Amino acid sequence: MTPRLWAACTLGVLVVVLIVYAALVIPWHRPPAPRADQLAALGQLPRDQVQRAQAFHSELRPGSYLSLAVGLIGALLLGLTPLGARLVSFAGRPFGDHWIAQAVLGGLLVVLVVEVITLPLAAWRHTIVVRYGISTQTWGAWAVDLAKSYAVGAVIGGLALLGFYTVTRLAPRWWWAFGALGAAALVVLLSFVLPVIVEPVFNKFTPMEQGPLRTELMSLAARDNVPVRDVLVADASRRTRAVNAYVSGFGPTRRIVVYDTMLTEATPDEVVSVTAHELGHAKRGDVLVGTIIGALGAAAAVIALYLLGSLGWLLRLAGTESMREPRSIALLLALVTLAGLAGGPVQALVSRRIEARADAHALELTGDAATFEAMQRRLGTVNLSDPDPPTWEYLMYASHPSTVERMAAARAYARGER
């Protein structure tokens, strides 16, 4: 068989494996959260708080969707016209048009252009979250965090582009196979590395002081048979008033992380309830499941890009001759952006199912539906979550069940419904 036929067959196998794996490991059946209970919970929330949350999201939507549209248009203009290829050539020109300079600097320049055109909209959103009291950041602190985010993305993206185009040069006929393996390996590596290396770039973590809460959290993890190294407190208050907690890391690096805002806003029992939810993710290996799905998806994406390279009209639009050239970077960005938009609702659905299972785990582990419901009410109030968002927005973007869904699930659990 020709390399292209091998690639098509491999892509078909990967897609089947991905679908079968997802069907087996994703909890497609979610715990009951009757709509009647949702409406009852919504009616019991303070009306002024509900109206404030809805007003907050109404003000955020125009900037968020405009940013999405501008980013998409920018990616398509760069990728489906010769403009992106010219930017890559421009970046490589001071270095004698060397392919490494084009791949790394050209790729970063293309991404930077898209980031810059959406920057004013990001600033607009920042003014809104500050006005509503969610963000505590000054413009200087916000800019520093933004620069850190760009820097981390530049390092990871630059290394990925260098690896990709190195492979295309060394194996011009079979680069899709080596590239797929490399992309899958990168996803796995980042899953292990990011919590340990990247998280400290944005937050400082200190061990929680010895006391009843720390003892309870460690006991909760032991009772759940989830090995945890430590309980850390993140200095989230330097950028937000939002509350949260999570379990981070694998094996010997796993730790419970609690926002310092959580310790001031929530009761100890509510902190335990949130931690029980996060332990549910660790217990079920949700991070590992996401990593495997991400690795399979990344491998399939590389092969799909190889096959798209046979579409001459697409390459001509982009002003390049082959996907193996760094001048195709903008085209790759455009295709990845389109794929991300198309796959977004499916990713949101999968995430909601996984989060609902973690909610059920928290209720089973603590047996305290009243505290779970109180915590969801507090999360929604402090974080200004829309308690019952519009259906279309929920289906397209919601990564978690809504506040009233989670409150309804607690009420159903209390009645013995599973």
| Bind-site residues for Zn(2+) | 277, 281, 355
The Cα–Cα gap between 169 and 362 comes to 50
Q: Which of 265, 270, 325, 359 is catalytic?
A: 359
Q: Name the strand (E) or helix (H) holding 351.
A: helix 329-366
Task: Kindly give, in sequence order, each residue whose CB lies less than 8 Å from that of residue 112, ignoring residues fewer than 6 positions away.
Answer: 150
Q: Which of 163, 173, 258 is nearest to 220 (CA)?
A: 258
Is 325 an active-site residue? no
Question: Which pair of tokens denotes residue 398?
Answer: 């919601």
Give the residue ranges of the annotated binding site.
277, 281, 355
> Annotated catalytic residue: which of 37, 260, 265, 278?
278
Distance CA 262, CA 208 (A): 12
CA torsion sign, 62 to 63 to 68 to 69?
A: positive
CB burial class (10 A; 0-12, 13-18, 19+) of residue 280?
Answer: buried
Residue 248 is classified by DSSP as E
Task: Give me the half-sphere count of Cα atoms (radius 13 Å) on the Cβ side of residue 58.
Answer: 6
Nearest to 38 by CA among 380, 384, 301, 317: 380
Pairing state of beta strands 230-234 and 245-248? unpaired
Q: With contact defined as beta carbons under 8 Å apart, do 298 and 184 qualify?
A: yes
List strands edge to edge, sheet with 230-234: 205-207, 230-234, 255-259, 245-248
Angle (nearest 5°) at CA 340 between 334 and 346: 160
The set of catalytic residues is 278, 359
